[in-house]
Amino acid sequence: MSMRRRFGALVVILALGMTGDLFACGDKFLVGGRGTRYQRPRNARAASVLIYADPASAVAVSLKKAKVESLLKLEGHRATNVQTLDQLSTVMSSGRFDVILTANSDSASVQRLLASGPAAAIVVGVDDLVKDRSLLQAIDKAVQEHDQNVKKAATRSS
């Protein structure tokens, strides 16, 4: 066999090997050319999420571009969107929310509007989370924190 044929056969073998499934130790879910997806924990529950973003802000543009409301609904969360602090205080007084998504710069003012107590919503700054695609993980973590606060308060009062 000539050197060219050996090299050609090697290229074909390598090309075929790169397009198939990647078999390694552990889970066999990786396929060449595809990424992994967010997998929601089994103990995660649907959350009531309030999204506060000024429509002119970069965060609002990022949230819209990432289709956050659709993504939240797809995961089973209930999303409500407000655009001003007045709307935020009105909606918060009329309903119970687990998580409030807002810009990092607005987190302090939103935290001041919250009623202190164990059932208070957890404020999550979304500036970096939208870019990193770790928003769903942050929401699940905030829901767990919220539920733990409620549970601790219930055990203290009984």
pLDDT of 22: 52
User: Do residues 99 and 144 make contact, with C-beta atoms less than 8 angstroms apart?
Assistant: no
pLDDT digit string (tens) for 103-155? Answer: 999 999 898 888 777 678 999 999 878 766 688 889 989 999 999 988 888 88
d(CA 135, CA 59): 13
Q: How far is CA 139 from CA 46, 121, 145, in A?
A: 10, 11, 10
Quick one: which of 75, 89, 70 has its CA closest to 47?
75
pLDDT of 123: 93
User: Do residues 87 and 58 make contact, with C-beta atoms less than 8 angstroms apart?
Assistant: no
Helix (H) or strand (E) holding 130: helix 127-132
pLDDT digit string (tens) for 62-94? Answer: 999 989 999 899 888 999 999 998 999 899 887
DSSP for 34-97 reads: --------TT----EEEEE--TTSHHHHHHHHTTHHHHHHHTT-EEEEE-SHHHHHHHHHHS--
Confidence (pTM): 0.70
> What phi and psi, each to the nearest 5 degrees, are found at residue 31?
-125, 135
Which two structure tokens, joined as six digits, stand for 8?
């050609």
Asked if pLDDT for residue 99 goes beyond 90, the answer is: yes
pLDDT of 95: 77
To 5 degrees, how large is the angle CA 103–CA 107–CA 111? Answer: 150
Which two structure tokens, joined as six digits, stand for 115?
């009623």
